[in-house]
Structure 1
Amino acid sequence: MSLSEWLTFKRNTTLEKNIREVDVQVPEGLWIKCNKCNLLMYYKTLEKNLKVCPKCDHHFATTSQDRIEQLIDNNTWQPINDYLTSTDPLGFSDRKLYSKRLEDMRNQTGLFDAVQTGIGQIFNIPIALGIMDFRFMGGSMGSVVGEKLTRLIEKATIDKIAVIIICASGGARMQEGMLSLMQMAKVSSALQKHQQEQLPYFPVLTSPTTGGVTASFAMLGDLIIAEPNALIAFAGRRVIEQTIKEDLPDNFQTSEYLFKHGFIDLIISRVDLKIKLHQILSFYYNS
């Protein structure tokens, strides 16, 4: 080893030692690592890109309020039935009372239930928008979710505007039993009347969209849209494999697999969603 190489080695070794000895305090929420490609980035960089990894296009989980800000024109959002809340008609209890679970969810998320609904504009085109929020009991569909979406669709039918529902759900809410399953038929019926008026409806399937939501309004759109690599399913992999006694492909419940096999029509990145929705809406209203 030459003298210059030895000096370089010594300097780098000393620098690494000093760095290890310094207690660096990184502020919480400043950095975030992508779960898919391990890219380390500023959280503000991720937020600026609508919580989509700029390197691998991995879509991070996001909130219903974020969705409103991403899709709806400024100062045009008008919420509908914001304060509608579930009761506990069955007196259900598992690890805690259902009524207490609802209260905890409201305090944690600031929401009254698992969906926000309202009227807004996408590049000046009026739409009725429902956004499911997975943070609230896994986006489960109970009586309030079904009622809010039904009222939204009925208003859109009266106002002659398109309906868009951002789906994110673990399925029907077991704590409300049969009442939650009835919401599948109720929302689907409202969509049928909306369609009879020749008005468009577009579901946007995000990760995850499963259970009774997939079995009803998530698959009833004029165009069914999904985010990249979203988990879309009715039942879980293990249940299906045990039922049909066969192994399934690793990606069989992803939006890409479903697109290939004709279950969905478009895969659109969250970054492009507002522009693409505007193009689709323009086609419908100008045709």
Structure 2
Amino acid sequence: MLNNLFKKTKYITVSQQSLRKADEETKPSIPNGMWIKCDGCGKVLYKNDLEDSNQVCKQCGHHFRMDARERIKYIIDRNTFEEFDKKITSTNPLNFKGYEEKIKKMQNATELNEAVVTGKGTIFGEEVVICVMDSHFMMGSMGSVVGEKIARAVEMAIELKRPIVIFTTSGGARMQEGMFSLMQMAKVSAALGKLSEAGLLYITVLTDPTTGGVTASFAMLGDIILSEPGALIGFAGKRVIEQTIGEKLPEGFQRAEFLLEHGFIDSIVHRNDLKGTLKKILMIHDKNR
């Protein structure tokens, strides 16, 4: 009887694998991709909430980058958008190794043929031609097709006698096309010169980032130049400039707020106010024609 009181209890051994399995079964099941960290404030945001706020953080106002389709859906009235030149795609004029494969990869990833979407539609009933560049397609780099599509859109605006709005975002000229890429700066600028002669309005909306040859040409030729808050806008990168001039650049250099202070742009507009702001500008222009 007493022997039974002091008898060792037999313990059941549990494998580490069984413990891990039990732990996984008790964890809440959260699908991947539902949360995103804000680059502005570091808060973790619910992705659906971010989409409802037009990709703007409600905590700090940071503007996330939008793709071309998202932006058109937000800016252009429902069921009014008609796309131009949808099937134009890039060739490989310099026989740059791997370029064709990279283009196909980008087309599959973004469901776009190139780094800009062009077309016509209405903004609160005001008729416009619109071009929207997309940084998700080779960082919005400007190749022959990008320049051609924008130039054709400008020509269509002249033909239809409509104002044009261009949303810019770009890493600059597309290196795989060399001089052909640089020629697009002159081509688009020449087309915009004809638009100006026709007395039509050209509005640019600079988004993050707008750099290189796009900044050096049509991005800064707008009759009215707007920008989203915090957008990076410039030609060469900050580090390159500092190394060239041998000086430290001021804080916030090449951000929209710095450019507004120094007269390079006309206004910074919050994304949620942008459609209404464009409507007011278009109405004023239409009344004064």
Given the two structures, how large is their TM-score scaled by the length of structure 2?
A: 0.90
Q: Distance in 2 between matches of 1:37 and 1:247?
A: 26
Q: Map of 1:77-226 to 2, 5 A cutoff?
A: 77-93=81-97, 97-226=98-227
1:27 positional shift: 1.4
Q: Distance in 2 between matches of 1:270 and 1:285?
A: 23
Q: CA deviation at 1:259?
A: 0.3
Question: Can you give the 5+ residue segments of structure 1 that lack an aligned partner in the other structure?
Answer: 1-18
Give the structure 2 partner of residue 12 of structure 1: none
Q: Distance in 2 between matches of 1:183 and 1:257?
A: 28
Secondary structure of the 1:250 match is coil
What is the alpha-carbon root mean square deviation over aligned residues?
Answer: 1.4
Kindly state the Cα deviation for residue 61 of structure 1 after the two structures are TM-superposed.
Answer: 1.3
Cα drift, residue 21 of structure 1: 10
Q: 1:35, CA displacement in angstroms?
A: 1.8
Cα distance between partner residues in 1 of 2:168 and 2:150: 11
Q: Which residue of 2 aligns with 1:13?
A: none
The residue number in structure 2 matching 1:70 is 74
Deviation of 1:283 after TM superposition, in Å, equals 0.8
Match of 2:245 in 1: 244
Deviates more, 1:24-33 or 1:172-181: 24-33
- Provide the secondary structure at the position in 1 that maps to 2:278: helix
SS at structure 2 position matched to 1:119: strand
Alpha-carbon distance in structure 2 between the residues aligned to 1:276 and 1:234: 27
Looking at structure 2, the residues matched to 25 and 196 of structure 1 have their Cα atoms a distance apart, in angstroms, of 61
Q: Given residue 275 of structure 1, which amino acid in structure 2 is its aligned partner?
A: G
More deviation, 64-73/238-247? 238-247
Q: Which whole-Å CA distance do the structure 1 matches of 2:92 and 2:27 have between them?
A: 51
1: distance between equivalents of 2:119 and 2:24?
Answer: 52
Tell me the CA shift for residue 225 of structure 1. 0.6
Secondary structure, counterpart of 1:50 in structure 2:
coil
Q: Deviations over 1:32-66 (max 9, x none)?
A: 22121123332111101100011211001111000
Q: Give the deviation of 1:153 after TM superposition.
A: 0.2
How far the C-alpha of 1:143 sits from its partner, in A, is 0.3
Distance 2:184 2:166 in 1: 15
Distance in 1 of aligned mates of 2:284 and 2:208: 27
Indicate how the Cα distance of structure 1 residues 242 and 41 shifts in structure 2: closer, same or farther if over 3 A, else same: closer
What is the rounded CA distance, in whole Å, between the counterparts of 1:244 and 1:194 in structure 2? Answer: 37
Aligned match for 1:46, one of 46, 50, 63 = 50
Q: Distance in 2 between matches of 1:83 and 1:90?
A: 21
What secondary structure does 1:179 align onto? helix
CA distance in 2, matches of 1:70, 1:267: 18
Q: Distance in 1 between matches of 2:45 and 2:240?
A: 38
Task: Give the match for residue 256 of structure 2.
Answer: 255
Give the distance between the partners of 1:20 and 1:133, measured in 2 at CA. 40
- Alignment identity in percent? 52
Distance (whole Å) between structure 2 residues aligned to residue 213 and residue 52 of structure 1: 25
| Paired amino acid for 2:283 | S
1:10 paired residue number: none
What is the identity, as a one-letter code, of the residue corresponding to 1:285?
A: D
Q: How many Å apart are 1:22 and its aligned residue?
A: 4.3
Distance in 2 between residues matched to 1:265 and 1:21, nearest whole Å: 56
How far apart in 2 are the matches of 1:32 and 1:67? 19
Cα drift, residue 80 of structure 1: 0.2
How far, CA to CA, are the matches of 1:146 and 1:78 in structure 2?
19
What amino acid is aligned across from residue 76 of structure 2 in structure 1?
A: I
Q: SS at the partner of 1:224? A: strand
Structure 2: which amino acid aligns with 1:228? P
Instruction: Give distance in 1, aligned partners of 2:209 and 2:270.
Output: 15
Q: Aligned partners of 1:151 and 1:235: how far apart in 2?
A: 28
How far apart, in 2, do the equivalents of 1:32 and 1:112 lie?
27
- Could you tell me how far apart the structure 2 residues matched to 1:237 and 1:47 are? 31
In our comparison, the structure showing a higher alpha carbon Rg is 2
Q: How far apart, in 2, do the equivalents of 1:250 and 1:21 lie?
A: 50
Residues of 2 paired with 1:39 and 1:245: CA distance?
37
SS in 1 for 2:184: helix
